[in-house]
Amino acid sequence: MKKVLKTLLYLIITVIIAFIVFLIYASADDYKPQEKTSIFTSDNPDLLSDTAVYSVLIWNIGYCGLNKEADFFYDGGKNVRPYEEKVKENIRGVKSFLQKNSHNDFILLQEVDSNSKRSYYFNEFDTIFNIFTDRTCVYGKNYCVFFVPTPLIDPIGKVNSGLMTISKYTPESSFRYSFPGNYSWPANLFMLDRCFLVNRYKLVNNNELLIINTHNSAYDDGTLKAQQMTYLKTFLKNEYKKGNYIIVAGDWNQLPPGFKPEFKENIADTVIKNKISPDYLPGWNWLYDNTLPTNRQVNAPYKKGKTQTTVIDFLLLSPNIKGVSVKNINTNFEFSDHNPVTARFILR
């Protein structure tokens, strides 16, 4: 009996030591980006018209692992990732959709994996980049962890993922800005480092057009979102004071101001989500389509008319930009837990 207890004690001590070593390594390896990081610069940027109508496509592709049959343990489901062939199918579907919609001037994507266990280490960035070799493609990491240990039975493992902005025009520059705030230690070692990407374009009127790709926090009590939104507001107000034109688009993980769903074939999400205050930036314009959802719950496979859905993917326009149109594209969540959004706008 003593021998058994001694062996058990040694086993417990070994596990504890291994866990401590794991945390030490995770802390040393933790991705710690600067507040502002240069991604791309050009000595010969394009000069854009200040009277043309521009188009933009935004889509969170769900790392090609959250197709309509998927559920996810973080959201109350059971699974961590689909079968490898399903991920390949999702990548082909995303690629085909982007090829058909390549006419858009700007394409803003979120959750693009470059080397992650959850997507079988396929380089989704390279796959998409190869469609747009004649365009400027920039990538900003927001999830870089050597090993995510949850769930214990089948851990997520290595994750490398981020935001991708594709542009017909060559920008002056592209910068990654880190959102403030994060989870406390040690949870922060295995969570996303949220950010937004800013592409700057020269205009013929000597001002700049800023195309901002954002992906705000999920799975928090609203504290992180509030910090991020305050930081973003300060950034936007400062840029607008300079006379610049600004578009912010992406997955906000919260509802737009005044949102009231008018879905015909889907039911609205009844889970309480943060809603952006209508007083967030007075005079600025929120551009969204409330007739089709852009996001579904992932606690179970998608079923039209039964799965709860909502709109968390949309655009914010500075007062000197007019939204011409906006449309959520119904893909029935075939390849991602998000539907794409297209919009057109003109500079005032």
In three-state form (DSSP H/G/I as H, E/B as E, the rest C), the secondary structure along 157-202 is EEEEEEEEEEECCCCCEEEEEECCCCCCCCHHHHCCCCEEEEEEEE
Provide the residue ranges of all domains of the chain, joining segments of one domain with +: 1-30, 34-347
**pLDDT at residue 295, as a whole number:** 97
pTM: 0.94
Over 90: is that where the pLDDT of 238 sits? Answer: yes
Distance CA 90, CA 50 (A): 37
Residue 75 confidence (pLDDT): 81
Contacts of 251 (CB under 8 A, 6+ apart): 58, 60, 110, 111, 214, 215, 216, 295, 312, 313, 338
**Per-residue pLDDT tens over the stretch 146-159:** 889 988 888 999 99
Selection from 337, 342, 232, 334 nearest residue 276 by Cα: 232
| Residue 331, pLDDT above cutoff 80 | yes
**Percent of the chain at pLDDT exceeding 70:** 91
Mean pLDDT value across residues 63-87? 91
Integer Cα distance of 290 and 257 in angstroms: 11
Name the pLDDT band for 29 (thresholds 50, 70, 90): low
Q: How many angstroms separate the CA atoms of 322 and 315, rounded?
A: 12
Tell me how far apart the alpha carbons of residues 271 and 312 are, in angstroms, rounded to a whole number: 13
Tokens representing 187 are: 């949870």
pLDDT band per the 50, 70, 90 thresholds, residue 26: low
Got the DSSP string for 108-144? EEEEEESS-GGGTT--HHHHHHTT-TTSEEEEEEEEE
- Name the one residue in this structure whose structure tokens are 């930081």: 231
Is the predicted pLDDT of residue 183 greater than 80, yes or no? no
Mean pLDDT score, 37-56: 96
Does pLDDT of 180 surpass 80?
Answer: yes
pLDDT of residue 19: 64
Q: How many angstroms separate the CA atoms of 283 and 291, rounded?
A: 24
Residue 25 has pLDDT above 80, yes or no: no
pLDDT above 60 for 321: yes
Q: How far apart are CA 103 and CA 91, in angstroms?
A: 20
* Fold category of 34-347 in CATH: Deoxyribonuclease I; Chain A (3.60.10)
In the chain, % of residues over pLDDT 90: 78
Predicted pLDDT at 213: 98
Say if residue 132's pLDDT is above 80.
yes
With cut-offs at 50, 70 and 90, classify the pLDDT of residue 273.
confident
Question: In angstroms, rounded to a whole number, what is the distance separating the alpha carbons of residues 179 and 48?
Answer: 29
Whole-number pLDDT of residue 270: 85
Report whether pLDDT(235) > 80. yes
247: pLDDT strictly greater than 70: yes
At 219, is the pLDDT very low, low, confident or very high (cuts 50, 70, 90)?
confident
Asked if the model's pLDDT at residue 308 lies above 90, the reply is yes
Q: Nearest to residue 268, comparing CAs of 301, 303, 293, 300?
A: 293
b/e map of 224-263 (b: 16 or more CB within 10 Å)?
A: bbebbbebbeebbeebbeeebbbbbbbbbbbbbbebebee
End-to-end CA distance of the chain: give it in Å, rounded.
Answer: 83
Distance CA 209, CA 347 (A): 9
Reduce the DSSP state of residue 106 to 3 states and report it.
strand
- Rounded Cα distance between 186 and 292, Å, is 39
Average pLDDT, integer, range 124-134: 96
Residue 213 CA to residue 45 CA, distance in Å, equals 19
